[in-house]
Amino acid sequence: MKQRLIEFWNSPVIDALLPVLATLAALLVGALMLLALGANPLVAYGALLDGAFGSLNSIADTLVRATPLLFVGVGICIAFRGGVTNIGGEGQLVVGALCATMVGLTFPDGPALVVVPLALLAGFLGGAVWGGIPGLLKAHFNVNEILSTVMMNQIAVQGMNFLLIGPLIDPVQLERASRIPQTARISAAFDLPRLAPTRLHLGTFLAIVMAVLVYILLWRTTLGYRIRAVGLNREAARYAGINVPRHIALSLALSGAMAGLAGAVQIFGVNFRMFTDGSATGFTGSAGFHGIVAALFGQLHPLGTIPASFFFGGLLVGANRLQRAVQVPAALIVTLNGLVVVFVVGTELWRQQRARRRVVERPSEHDEPSLTAIPPTAASLEGKA
């Protein structure tokens, strides 16, 4: 009996459940905080559940909220499989949104069937460029992509602020001299179709399709095979005739393209114009970061990222309801999200360790690329210390 239990505890089933358990643990810690603030955790979490999944409308809101997470998360999967880490989802999302907006504003009278796909394509390409630049730097000069993607976020935000205050600002804002940094609304003819009366739009469907396509790309095409080979063992990939730098750059570019698509879909499905509060979060709602968590949730598999994004989207939507229901400071909601992130990322490390222990690694082998692998430079610095 005891043996059975141990076996079950060590089985991959538990691995798949770990992110859920981590979330529950985070909510437990959150409950303590709620208690400390004098709120009833049961009421609070009831509101959270209700807000996320309680009605058709709330489910639709959850799906809408999950959509950019899914796009970004799928992109994260591509990067991870190619052996690189993309922390630049925020910037790529912003650039994608800007590009798509510009297409929408440039052809206000064009046919929607042409302009919308064109705008989505522009978002895709904008994100691809924003991810591809760190990719090329990594591929050819071995510039650490974690640093460069984060820096590209800054550049994107500053570029967005500049454009929205100046060249792209809504002419109405200029007339009124109120100068709110936002563009004009794109033509209503371009709005993505919705499932009335909810806010659910076609973009969600598109995101699911992309997740499936990316799965096919990675596991059913020669290109995906090459990307995975490069991600698992660069030396062996090079030996097998694969152009390693090209595929490193490509996986970051594709990863960025997914985030760019997220931005474009936000414009055409949710916001209908680009705006800024000076930071990236104002527009993205941190989808560029939450998408990473969703991907981790989904065990870095595009198909696993689908339910994971919905789960996390629900958490974000429900948290708003929670706040209103028990009147806690907004900071608590941020803390709660943060807790979930910390717990999920933490258990992800644990999961990798478990997986290693289960297969009992052969010494000194190239394991799955790990999010936590210490880059050689860090190891060498330690050596000098």
Partner 1 sequence: MNDQPKPILEMLGITKRFPGVLANDHVDLELYPGEVLALLGENGAGKSTLMNILVGLYRPDEGEIRMRGQRVEIHSPRDAAALGIGMVHQNFMLVKTMTVAENIILGLSDLPFVPDLREVSRRIRELSQRYRLQVDPDAYIWQLSVGEQQRVEILKLVYRGAEVLILDEPTAVLTPQEAQELQGVLRIMTAEGKSAIFITHKMEEVMTFSDWVRVLQQGRLTAVRKTGETSPQELARLMVGREVLFRLDRKDCVLGEKVLELHSVSALDDRGLPALREVAFDIHGGEILGIAGVAGNGQSQLAEVVTGLRRTAQGRILIRGKDLTHASPLELIRAGVSHIPADRIGMGAVGNMAVADNLAMKGYRGSPLSERGVLRPRNILEFAKRMIEAFRISTPTPNTRIKFLSGGNIQKAILAREIDACDGLMVAVYPARGLDVGATEAVRKMLLSQREQGLAVLLISEDLEELLTIADRITVLFAGQIMGIVPSAETTVEMLGLMMAGVPLADLPALGTHDPTPGSSPA
Ligand X SMILES: Nc1ncnc2c1ncn2[C@@H]1O[C@H](COP(=O)(O)OP(=O)(O)OP(=O)(O)O)[C@@H](O)[C@H]1O
**335-354 footprint of partner 1 as x/- string (CB under 8 A):** --------------------
Interface residue with partner 1 among 143, 238, 273, 346 (CB under 8 A) is 238
Partner that binds at residue 356, options ligand X, partner 1, none, CB closer than 5 to 8 Å by kind: none
Amino acid at 157: V
Interface residue with partner 1 among 140, 176, 220, 356 (CB under 8 A) is 220
Please answer whether residues 101 and 273 qualify as being in contact, where contact means their C-beta atoms are separated by less than 8 angstroms.
yes
Partner that binds at residue 178, options partner 1, ligand X, none, CB closer than 5 to 8 Å by kind: none
The tokens of 339 are what? 């807790």
* C-beta of 331 vs 359, nearer to ligand X: 359
Partner that binds at residue 36, options partner 1, ligand X, none, CB closer than 5 to 8 Å by kind: none
158-165: long-range pairs with CB below 8 Å, 24+: 159/95, 159/98, 160/94, 160/98, 160/274, 160/276, 160/280, 160/283, 161/276, 161/278, 163/98, 164/274, 164/275, 164/276
113 contributes a contact to ligand X by CB under 6 A = no
* C-beta of 324 vs 366, nearer to ligand X: 366
36 contributes a contact to ligand X by CB under 6 A = no
State in angstroms the smallest separation of the CB of 367 from partner 1: 7
Rounded Cα–Cα distance for residues 361 and 303 (Å): 27
Stretch that binds partner 1, among 48-56, 116-124, 252-260, 376-384 (CB under 8 A): 376-384
State in angstroms the smallest separation of the CB of 361 from ligand X: 8
Stretch that binds partner 1, among 91-99, 125-133, 232-240, 273-281 (CB under 8 A): 232-240
State in angstroms the smallest separation of the CB of 12 from ligand X: 14
Give the single-character DSSP code of 201: B
Q: Concatenated DSSP letters for 244-285? A: HHHHHHHHHHHHHHHHHHHHHHHIIIIISS-B-SSSSHHHHT
State in angstroms the smallest separation of the CB of 15 from ligand X: 17
359 contributes a contact to ligand X by CB under 6 A = yes
177 contributes a contact to ligand X by CB under 6 A = no
State in angstroms the smallest separation of the CB of 129 from partner 1: 24
- Residue 25 to residues 50, 262, 293, 344: CA-CA distances in angstroms? 20, 30, 16, 10
Rounded Cα–Cα distance for residues 276 and 112 (Å): 26
State in angstroms the smallest separation of the CB of 181 from partner 1: 44
Q: Concatenated DSSP letters for 352-365? A: HHHHHHHHTPPTT-
- Residue 273 to residues 25, 190, 198, 309, 356: CA-CA distances in angstroms? 39, 11, 20, 24, 47
237 contributes a contact to partner 1 by CB under 8 A = yes
**161-200 footprint of partner 1 as x/- string (CB under 8 A):** ----------------------------------------
- Residue 34 to residues 7, 27, 43, 126, 335: CA-CA distances in angstroms? 37, 10, 10, 42, 11
Rounded Cα–Cα distance for residues 166 and 320 (Å): 33
Rounded Cα–Cα distance for residues 123 and 129 (Å): 10
Buried b (16+ CB within 10 A) or exposed e, 298-337: bbbbbbbbbebbbbbbbbbbbbbbbbebbebeeebbeebb
Give the single-character DSSP code of 213: H
State in angstroms the smallest separation of the CB of 359 from ligand X: 6
Interface residue with partner 1 among 161, 173, 198, 233 (CB under 8 A) is 233
363 contributes a contact to ligand X by CB under 6 A = no
Rounded Cα–Cα distance for residues 89 and 284 (Å): 10
- By CB under 6 A, the count of residues binding ligand X is 2
Interface residue with partner 1 among 20, 46, 303, 367 (CB under 8 A) is 367
Interface residue with partner 1 among 28, 108, 366, 370 (CB under 8 A) is 366
Interface residue with ligand X among 36, 113, 188, 360 (CB under 6 A) is 360
Q: Which residues bind ligand X (CB under 6 A)?
A: 359-360
Q: Which residues bind partner 1 (CB under 8 A)?
A: 219-223, 225, 228-229, 232-233, 235-243, 359-368, 376, 379-380, 383
